[in-house]
Amino acid sequence: MKIELASEMLMEFDDGVRFKCRFVGLIKGECVIIRVPVTPGIRGRIEPGNELTFRYLNEGSIVSFTAVSQLYRATPYSLLFVDYPDGFEHYGLRKSGRIACRMRASLTKSQTVFEGLITDVSEGGCRFQLPKSQDPDEFVRKDDHVTGEFATLESGTVHKFRAKVARRRVGERDISLGLVFEEGKTGLSRSMSQYLDKIIEFQKLLDES
């Protein structure tokens, strides 16, 4: 189970009711510990033996799992213990909405290939990070035109693109390039647009809950 401590989650029920909660820990193979809100009526929904559905974001994908409630303690903290899930479902990125992710990618300029990571992406562009040692002489500059490719996590589908470098920032260890996809050259595939749509919809659910 890949999830960062204190990550936001949604706990959902069959009737459409959902509560925002937070992941606080786990014992692999035994239980997951979740901090839930102290809300009227929630106790009856999370009694031991009840099956619950949880969703959260991880590296640009929606992760979903079902688990059976083990124990709830309202004090000193509102904590719910559920069975460690048997499996996880991954949904994978919408238009103009920038989605945080970590996808291995490559960038090419004048036949020189740079390996790095895309750390956020939208239908309009992405942020590409590469080790500072790969481009010490500023071979890739602002306003340069480049090509690249990356693969979505859940399917491995390779997406190629052409882009213009809109921003270049140099840190202590890496270089961050802000790329704008060039319209009319390739665009993003339908599958990638659907992936973005799903992530944006999930983020809206988190914000509304």
The predicted pLDDT at position 21 comes to: 94
Whether the Cβ atoms of residue 159 and residue 151 lie closer than 8 Å to each other: yes
CA distance 14 to 167: 46
- Domains of the chain by start residue, with CATH: 8-91 (2.30.110.10), 99-199 (2.40.10.220)
Q: What is the pLDDT along the chain (209 residues), one digit of tens a residue?
A: 888 888 899 999 888 888 999 999 999 999 999 999 988 888 999 999 999 999 998 765 688 999 999 999 998 999 999 999 998 887 654 445 567 777 889 999 999 999 999 988 877 888 999 998 988 888 999 999 999 988 765 556 777 888 999 889 888 889 999 998 886 544 555 655 666 677 667 766 766 65
Whether the Cβ atoms of residue 42 and residue 36 lie closer than 8 Å to each other: yes
CA dihedral 45, 49, 50, 52 (to 10 degrees): 110
The model's pTM is: 0.49
